[in-house]
Structure 1
Amino acid sequence: MMNCLQSWPEPVVRVQSLAASGIQAIPERYIKPPSHRPLSKSDFSLPQEVNIPVIDFENVFSSDHRLRDEALRCIYSACSEWGFFQVVNHGVSHELMKGVREMWREFFNLPVEVKQEYANSPVTYEGYGSRLGVQKGASLDWSDYFFLHYMPVSLRNQNKWPATPASCSRRTVEEKEVLEAGSYHRIDLQVLSNAIYQSVEHRVIVNSNKDRVSLAFFYNPKSDLLIEPSKELVTEDRPALYPPMTFDEYRLYIRTKGPSGKKQVESLKSPRP
């Protein structure tokens, strides 16, 4: 069981309300140091075509071993060189994705007093939130979020599932059908691969004229599962870069430190001899 604070160390300010208040400048605690900011177009030049890796998900399960091997090779290359890739032929309809985005836009456009009924705490983070981490005075992300446990059902807090918009429960059924089409487990691949695969930071340049909705799904292991570099990837020339830790220990670190970027993973590295 994780040892977390029961409440946030400071009053929670909703970023959406702050942005709508007419402020002329972003408050200091939301401003990232230069080393933590994404590069703007003026900071670098890109080639005319940037070929982001694209994986055809159908080929991963193809009966043709050549297609399957090529898909796995592409995944390896994308994870080790880029740290991410785009997936096509994944089976999730564009209509469903569009509907889910519209549903959450509808929720975030509700009056703040309605959204406050689902306010979260550091205990599970489930519900309507505006900060990560429990360090007083820490820098914050310029965003609000809504976090829900979906599976297993035993972890789900039904009191945190919005009653409005009414489409929320209907979308839940549709998403359930998609999620149960396969079995997924997500743990930190940078640790498992002994840093062969890269964990890329999620950084976004804010658009002052338009808001942004992002949907993320996290597939986590059991809380007591030990996470460590795979034995097959540890050699004399490349010793284990990370100490063993349970997923609960890893998650407690993330929830305590908050949005401290790639330092979260790098700081876990074992000291080299």
Structure 2
Amino acid sequence: MAPTPISNVKVGHIDDVQELRKKKSSKIPERFIRDKTERPKLNNSINLTQFDNIPIIDFSKLFKGSKDECCSEVHKLMTSCEEWGFFQVINHGIDLELLERIEKVAMEFFMMPIEEKQKYPMIPGTVQGYGQAFVFSEEQKLDWCNMFALGLEPHYQRNLKLWPTKPYDFSETLEIYSKEVRKLCKNLLKYIAISLGLNENIFEEMFGVAVQAVRMNYYPPCPRPDLVLGLSPHSDGSALTILQQGKGNTFGLQILKNNKWIQVQPIPGALVINIGDTIEVLTNGRYKSVEHRAVTHKEKDRLSIVTFYAPSYDIELGPIQELVNDKNPCKYRRYNHGEYSKHYVTNKLEGKKTLEFAKFKTDFAY
């Protein structure tokens, strides 16, 4: 059964991390302090520059390379999806100047007075607007992060009252940016399909008018990064997630691999891609969504711009038949994607718990 919708608890002035930062206090409010078992062990986190590298896919070799280059890159893509669930894409075809422009307007928005930003409040029960998402009780711990999220596609998902008039070029820049990212998502899904030995258009044909949303995350410096999390551990409910890490090369994103939190090193101009729960279900677990989180820095701030790309809400999903066999029996039931999306946004971020919705169980613990 689907969960009963829960309204987001209103987060006000006192919980806005940028406003807390302005006070320049070394004391962290209790509501942000994590239980000892959840706190990031920053000194023990693996640094990928010393050990291993998250896979890097050269999109130009997929799209314009020779047959051998394309085959090699498709194989690398398959390995990335099977073993990591994350990869970075270089030469992705999106103008680097456009990436700079979207970062610029996002930062300008977050730097506005709080009274201006609160003209676009996050609507209870949704993840659109300015504030903190996935907060459902007064006792729930908060992330050291300010968020601004908007629905993009299809157009009926948009709440134009939440589209800011300042900065003046915010909406125009986001419109151009979102179209370019949408093209990239469609192309990446073609090559993911090829890597699985499927018809290259299977995902586009299956998804209908794909849902697309953007969330901008701003992480101010934190006086005690060892006590807080920038973003709680979770997997994404999307098919694909496209992450643009802002300039500054500040570490923040961590992924859970072999039960260890691994830093993802920003590469200038690259985009970080991760597999969402939807692709895990469709591939019957062959490509898995991966738990990830964000940590904070004592002296540096960090911006990230995240695009979520998923099937239409009226689509019924389940494992693709070609990927179910005796060696890999069906792991997930068929379900309506809109119901799953509702389940996802009405539950707090808690690892991969939301994926339980898709498994063969008669009820769920909420």
- When normalised by structure 1's length, the TM-score is 0.85
Task: Give CA deviations for 1:194-213 in whole Å, capped at 9, x if unaligned.
Answer: 22212122312210212111
Q: Report the counterpart of residue 219 of structure 1 in structure 2.
A: 309
CA contact (8 A) 1:131 1:140 kept: no
1:112 pairs with 88, 98, 114, which one?
114
Map 1:10-25; keep pairs closer than 5 Å.
10-12=10-12, 13-25=15-27
Map 1:73-84; keep pairs closer than 5 Å.
73-84=75-86
Task: Give CA deviations for 1:101-156 in whole Å, capped at 9, x if unaligned.
Answer: 12111111111111010001134322112131434532332211111112222221
How far is 1:251 from its partner?
A: 1.5
User: Is residue 27 of structure 1 aligned with residue 29 of structure 2?
Assistant: yes
User: Is residue 192 of structure 1 aligned with residue 282 of structure 2?
Assistant: yes
Paired residue total: 270
Letter in 1 for 2:305: L
Give the whole-Å Cα distance in 1 for the aligned partners of 2:291 and 2:162. Answer: 28
Map 1:37-52; keep pairs closer than 5 Å.
39-42=41-44, 48-52=50-54
Give the whole-Å Cα distance in 1 for the aligned partners of 2:48 and 2:61. Answer: 30
User: Is residue 228 of structure 1 aligned with residue 318 of structure 2?
Assistant: yes
CA contact (8 A) 2:318 2:333 kept: yes
1:263 pairs with 353, 360, 363, which one?
353
Q: Report the counterpart of residue 8 of structure 1 in structure 2.
A: 8
**Partner of 1:190: helix, strand, or coil?**
helix
Letter in 2 for 1:117: K
User: Is residue 239 of structure 1 aligned with residue 241 of structure 2?
Assistant: no
Q: 1:47 to 1:247 in 2, by over 3 A?
A: same
How far is 1:96 from its partner?
A: 1.5
Q: 1:180 to 1:132 in 2, by over 3 A?
A: closer
Letter in 2 for 1:8: N
Give the whole-Å Cα distance in 2 for the aligned partners of 1:265 and 1:56. Answer: 30
Give the whole-Å Cα distance in 1 for the aligned partners of 2:100 and 2:161. Answer: 25
Letter in 1 for 2:19: S
Flag the structure with higher strand content.
2
Give the whole-Å Cα distance in 1 for the aligned partners of 2:39 and 2:359. Answer: 23
Task: Give CA deviations for 1:245-266 in whole Å, capped at 9, x if unaligned.
Answer: 2222221222122211223325
Task: Give CA deviations for 1:40-87 in whole Å, capped at 9, x if unaligned.
Answer: 333557673522211111222347433222222111100111110010
How far is 1:174 from its partner?
A: 3.0
Letter in 1 for 2:303: V
> Once structures 1 and 2 are overlaid, which stretch shifts more, 174-183 or 259-268?
174-183
Letter in 1 for 2:59: F
Q: 1:227 to 1:181 in 2, by over 3 A?
A: closer
Letter in 2 for 1:198: K
> Once structures 1 and 2 are overlaid, which stretch shifts more, 199-208 or 30-39?
30-39
**Partner of 2:54: helix, strand, or coil?**
coil
Map 1:36-115; keep pairs closer than 5 Å.
36=38, 39-42=41-44, 48-62=50-64, 64-115=66-117
Give the whole-Å Cα distance in 2 for the aligned partners of 1:64 and 1:206. Answer: 42
> Alpha carbon RMSD of aligned pairs, Å?
2.8
Q: Report the counterpart of residue 158 of structure 2 in structure 1.
A: 156
How far is 1:163 from its partner?
A: 0.5
How far is 1:238 from its partner?
A: 2.6
Q: 1:140 to 1:250 in 2, by over 3 A?
A: farther
Q: 1:125 to 1:192 in 2, by over 3 A?
A: same
Letter in 2 for 1:203: R
Q: 1:163 to 1:42 in 2, by over 3 A?
A: same
Unaligned residue ranges in structure 1 (runs of 5+):
none
> Once structures 1 and 2 are overlaid, which stretch shifts more, 235-244 or 219-228?
235-244
CA contact (8 A) 2:282 2:319 kept: yes
Give the whole-Å Cα distance in 2 for the aligned partners of 1:256 and 1:177. Answer: 28
Q: 1:47 to 1:61 in 2, by over 3 A?
A: closer
Q: Report the counterpart of residue 342 of structure 2 in structure 1.
A: 252
**Partner of 1:242: helix, strand, or coil?**
coil
Q: 1:43 to 1:98 in 2, by over 3 A?
A: closer
- When normalised by structure 2's length, the TM-score is 0.65
Q: 1:209 to 1:50 in 2, by over 3 A?
A: same
Matched residues, percent identical? 33
